[in-house]
């Protein structure tokens, strides 16, 4: 049974999601979509965004939602082979209940297939080994401007089997989940039908290697929250027991 949860949601406060993503509207919509547990995960690319994250936390505290709501954060590397703007101190100061993170750039190598893919894999493995990050977000997602230059990236069969096994095994070993992301891929028109189908095969390969998975819509507007249903349908195809799906744990203090 695939859990009814969405652990990747953006609000209007940081500015990447649109005005429809006000916190009360998000909670209402997720409830209508049948979600039981959700996580708010706005970007923390640099520490100067912390005051906005405090506002998000304060707004969440004012709500009495019908579903379980977690306060999370999405991390991004500060540059090629650099770290996240995140630490135990930041986590404890803000009271984050979980962190998701990953690579969001080709770092200028979008026309160099081998280098581009190697950079992605290297950063995926870095997330697996980071004890402060619970979920690797959207592996092999690229922004439109970069992806449009990747005529070599026809589908996911390009990814070496050995990398899929290595990433899946690392997930099993560290407990860091790998995300099944709705809006980055499956609701994104820039990726072809062939590409999306091959991505499901990629996820199946990770599942065979022992990976655990997190579910996320990555919605940036209220309509896109329904992408979680696509994510859940794909997760269902993986035919996994409940323990192979990741959940955050509630902070009690």
Q: Which residues bind Zn ion (CB under 5 A)?
A: 74, 137, 218
Q: Please say which residue, 137 or 206, places its beta carbon nearer to Zn ion.
A: 137
Q: Smallest gap, in angstroms, from Cβ of residue 153 to Zn ion?
A: 18
Q: Smallest gap, in angstroms, from Cβ of residue 27 to Zn ion?
A: 18
Residue entry with tokens 């022992």: 210
Q: Smallest gap, in angstroms, from Cβ of residue 25 to Zn ion?
A: 18
DSSP the chain: ----EEEEE--TTTSSS-TT--HHHHHHHHHHTT-SEEEEEEEESSGGGHHHHHHHHHHHHT---SSEEEEEEEEEBSSTT--BS--HHHHHHHT-SEEEEE----TT-TT-HHHHHHHHHHHHHHHHH-TT--EE--TT---HHHHTT-TT-S-GGGS-HHHHHHHHHHHHHH--EEEEEIIIIIT-TTS-HHHHHHHHHHHHHHHHTT--EEEE--BSSGGGGGHHHHHHHHHHHH---GGGB--------
Residue at shortest CB range from Zn ion: 218
Q: Smallest gap, in angstroms, from Cβ of residue 162 to Zn ion?
A: 25
Q: Please say which residue, 79 or 241, places its beta carbon nearer to Zn ion.
A: 79
Q: Smallest gap, in angstroms, from Cβ of residue 74 to Zn ion?
A: 5
Q: Please say which residue, 39 or 168, places its beta carbon nearer to Zn ion.
A: 39
Q: Please say which residue, 29 or 162, places its beta carbon nearer to Zn ion.
A: 29
Q: Please say which residue, 139 or 205, places its beta carbon nearer to Zn ion.
A: 139
Q: Please say which residue, 46 or 194, places its beta carbon nearer to Zn ion.
A: 46
Q: Smallest gap, in angstroms, from Cβ of residue 241 to Zn ion?
A: 27
């Amino acid at each position: 049974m695939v859990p009814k949860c969405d652990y990747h949601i953006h609000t209007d406060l940081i500015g990447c999601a649109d005005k429809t993503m006000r916190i009360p509207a998000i909670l209402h919509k997720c409830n209508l979509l049948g979600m039981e547990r959700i996580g708010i995960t706005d970007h923390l690319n640099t520490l100067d965004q912390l005051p906005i994250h405090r506002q998000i936390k304060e707004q969440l505290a004012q709500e009495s939602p019908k579903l379980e709501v977690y306060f999370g954060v999405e991390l991004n590397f500060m540059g090629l082979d650099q770290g996240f703007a995140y630490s135990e101190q930041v986590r404890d100061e803000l009271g984050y209940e979980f962190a998701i993170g990953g690579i969001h750039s080709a770092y200028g190598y979008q026309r160099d297939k081998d280098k581009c893919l190697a950079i992605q894999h290297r950063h995926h493995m870095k997330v697996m080994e980071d004890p402060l990050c619970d979920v690797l977000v959207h592996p092999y997602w690229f922004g439109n401007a970069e992806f449009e230059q990747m005529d070599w990236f026809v589908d996911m069969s390009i990814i070496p089997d050995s990398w899929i096994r290595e990433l899946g095994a690392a997930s099993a070993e560290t407990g860091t989940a790998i995300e099944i992301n709705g809006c980055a891929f499956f609701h994104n028109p820039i990726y072809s039908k062939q590409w999306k189908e091959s991505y499901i095969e990629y996820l199946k390969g990770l599942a065979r290697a022992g990976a655990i998975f997190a579910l996320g819509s990555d919605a940036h507007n209220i309509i896109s929250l329904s992408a979680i249903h696509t994510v859940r349908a794909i997760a269902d195809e993986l035919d996994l027991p409940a323990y192979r799906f990741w959940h955050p744990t509630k902070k009690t203090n």
